[in-house]
Amino acid sequence: MVAPVRRWHQLYQTQMRFSLRRVQAWGLTLDCQILGAMIVFTSNVDGHFQKAGFNKDKIIECHGSIHYLQCSTPCRDDIWEADQIEVDMQAFEAKAPHCQACGAIARPNILMFGDGTNEKQTEKYHHWLHKLQENRFKLAIVEIGAGQAVPTVRIESEIIAEKYKGTLIRINPREYEIPDGQLSIPLGGAEAVKRVFELLN
């Protein structure tokens, strides 16, 4: 059953990137990118925002990324790209990556219990929020498919919307409850983004 799984994965990847490109176009339509005022806060660890063409310096991955590694000790806070995994061609096995600083085994940069956050991204995020306030920009948060099972993104949206007096637009087909005064679109992400994009055009 490998083939159907692979086809599903390819379909998921294609759909995901297509929807994200629409989100990006949506931001461009609103001149957000020109003002440098669009930022992505995501719990996805798959790097699809980068692949869809979003500015990598404007992406906050609150649960980390499978495309980066970190020291398992850890001996330092650095992360590095995971694109150079060595393969033992005789055993046909990937060699475990190691930390170049201390030699300990490396692990994916995915948030686990007891981990801290990515300090560089967190700093950029707080700087962006500060600039937003300083320039008195109006904030719109478009939250897509953030569920209640692991509510990191949902909680962040609500806190930031309240703190910066922003408008929260929650897109979710099932868990669409929202604080008073905010907007909810009870549709799947791709469908909602498609319809909003059509209205904007």
Helices (H) and strands (E) in the chain, counts: 5, 10
| Total residues at interface with Zn ion (CB under 5 A) | 7
96 interacts with Zn ion by CB under 5 A: no
Question: Binding residue for Zn ion (CB under 5 A) from 38, 39, 71, 193?
Answer: 71
Which lies closer to Zn ion via its Cβ, residue 71 or residue 185?
71
| Tokens representing residue 154 in the block | 């949902």
Strand partners of residue 142:
169
Question: Does 79 participate in binding Zn ion (rule CB under 5 A)?
Answer: no
> Is the CB of 34 or the CB of 85 nearer to Zn ion?
85
DSSP string, 86-125: -EETTTTEEPPPB-TTT-PBEEEEE--TT----HHHHHHH
Is 101 a binding residue for Zn ion by CB under 5 A? The answer is yes
Q: How far is the CB of 102 from Zn ion (least distance, A)?
A: 3
Q: Cα 41 to chain center, whole Å?
A: 5
The whole-angstrom separation of Cα 125 and Cα 113 is: 22
36 sits in the region (left: phi over 0; alpha: psi -120 to 50; else beta) called: left
- The reply on whether position 99 binds Zn ion by CB under 5 A is yes
CB closer to Zn ion, 97 vs 188:
97
Any contact of residue 106 with Zn ion (CB under 5 A)? no
Considering the complex, state which of residue 5 and residue 112 has its C-beta at the smaller distance from Zn ion.
112
At closest approach, how far in Å is the CB of 75 from Zn ion? 3
Backbone φ and ψ of 164, nearest 5°: -105, 15
Please tell me whether residue 75 binds Zn ion under the rule CB under 5 A: yes
C-beta closer to Zn ion: residue 103 or 173: 103
Token representation of residue 66:
């499978």
- Nearer to Zn ion by C-beta: 94 or 101? 101
Count Cβ atoms below 10 Å from residue 50 Cβ, excluding itself. 16
Choosing from 11, 28, 35, 102, the residue that interacts with Zn ion (CB under 5 A) is 102
Residue 159 binds Zn ion (CB under 5 A): no
Residues near Zn ion (CB under 5 A) are: 71, 73, 75, 99, 101-102, 104
